[in-house]
Amino acid sequence: MTGPNVVIIYTDDLGWGDLGCFGSTEVETPHLDALAARGVRLTNWYSNSPVCSPSRAALLTGRHPAHAGVESILGAARTVSGLPAQPTLASRLADAGWTTAIFGKWHLGVAPESAPLRHGFGHHLGFRAGCVDYYSHIMYWGGQHPLHDLWDDDTEIWRNGEYLTDVITDAAVEFIDATPDPFFCYVPYNAPHYPMHAPAEAMAKFAHLPWERQVMAAMIAKVDDGVGRIVEALRRTGRLDDTIIVFSSDNGPSAEERNWLGGEEIAYPGGSTGGLRGHKGSLFEGGIRVPGIWSWPARLPRGVVSDEPAMMMDVLPTVLAAAGLSVAVEDEVDGVDLMPLLADGRAPGERMLTWEYEGQLAVRRGRWKLVIDPSDRLGRPRQPGRLLFDLETDPAETTDRSAARPELMAELAAAAAAWADDLERWRSAAIPAG
């Protein structure tokens, strides 16, 4: 089988404003900036959820989180099931002859029957739950007992003292060096998710920043170093031109108090939304709009910036189309093929983008977005109400336009009601987690 190699690099709690190519003046990301310069940078790129597990389910299945069967943050106990059995990007590519591997955070089930090898991946080095200490690879969470969580396939391994971002990068580079074409290499870094850990040399580069920004910048810089090494491995092995590279984040930056290391009980300001409202856990833009970069030198133009709205669930149908693989109607994939947009600038037509998280609802059509009962961030209560925003003139969602646009408000409210019906239909037909 011949076809493009696929590398998906996924970060954890990275804000829309935390890369140089997305406007940051504090975080240095030369390798990601170069990746964007070689491809297409998407400024209205969205996660399907403002939190981790549902976002990852949408990425790998091409479905809305409720349709994929994962709507909330999954737990860490070794008995926790996760993503229900269904085709994934990995299984579809593996069936067509691609060698598949994941290096890093899974967070779609900890139990053996939910591990990556049961969902189309031929190899996994990384951890299965939501977060771990970067050096001991142990999860510490509230009153729960500590849980060591580092695996080589189904074997627990111990790499005490090794910085996890580097462990992930090393394994991805080794895989690229050793694996014949075609392959799918999924690299879900856990950075810059808490706990906030970075090596001394990375911290020293940003010593001029306040600690909360210094450690965030250092963690992101280590990811950027990893991206540079992965790209160099592709170049060194002669595969860069015919490799699709997708870079993004699972949701917006976390403002949770547990990001602090001094016991502070105030919101953490380390991550940047680039001026957007809301954080992780919110359906305001800051919780769901994330960096999006696509590179494929053999097919995609260089240095293009697109403001067309698109979502994480579009990755699966786009990659499969690029690989010459079809998606049947009966597969019930919710995403759309973005290759005409990425390659030629042809938009897929006006879409209704939809989100739900813990009672919050949002729909976007064109420049207009309706948010229902929103929360500002994870752990904060919902604010009852319906807010209409013009994202073209007000991307920070500061001014509710519902009173001025009653007809539009009614149309989007009807769309939100239909979306709620879809959610209930999927939930009532849900298959058991596996």
Task: Please compute Rg for the chain using Cα positions.
Answer: 20
- Two domains, one topology: 5-344 and 352-428: no
Answer yes or no: is pLDDT of 178 > 70.
Answer: yes
Q: What is the pLDDT of residues 300-334, one digit of tens each?
A: 999 999 999 999 999 999 999 999 999 988 899 99
Tell me the CATH architecture of domain 5-344: 3-Layer(aba) Sandwich (3.40)
Extended strands (E) in 234-358:
243-249, 292-295, 304-306, 310-311, 352-357
The Cα-based distances of 372 to 67, 279, 413, 415 in angstroms read 20, 16, 9, 12
Helix axes 52-61 and 315-322, enclosed angle (nearest 10) = 30
Q: % helix / strand / coil in the chain, to the nearest 5?
A: 30, 20, 50
Which residue in this structure is represented by tokens 């170049």?
235
Check if 52 is active-site.
yes
Categorise residue 314: left if φ over 0, alpha if ψ from -120 to 50, beta otherwise. alpha
Residue that the structure tokens 């579809």 belong to: 92
Domain segments of the chain: what residues? 5-344, 352-428
Average pLDDT over residues 378-406: 97
Active site (annotated) includes residue 131: no
CATH classification (class only), 352-428: alpha beta
Question: pLDDT per residue over 266-312, tens digit each?
Answer: 899 999 999 999 999 999 999 999 999 999 999 999 999 999 999 99
**Prediction pTM value:** 0.97
Position 1 pLDDT exceeds 80 = no
Q: Which of 31, 52, 67, 131 is catalytic?
A: 52
Check residue 145 and give its pLDDT. 86
Residues belonging to the chain: 434
The predicted pLDDT at position 263 comes to 85
Q: Percent of the chain scored above 90 by pLDDT?
A: 93
pLDDT of residue 200: 98
pLDDT digits (tens, 9 = 90+) for 89-140: 999 999 999 999 999 999 999 999 999 999 999 999 999 999 999 999 999 8
Catalytic residue among 107, 119, 124, 193: 107
pLDDT in tens, 188-244: 999 999 999 999 999 999 999 999 999 999 999 999 999 999 999 999 999 999 999
Asked if 113 and 81 count as a contact pair (C-beta separation under 8 A), the reply is: yes
Task: Tell me which amino acid residue 106 is.
Answer: W
| pLDDT at residue 21 in the model | 98
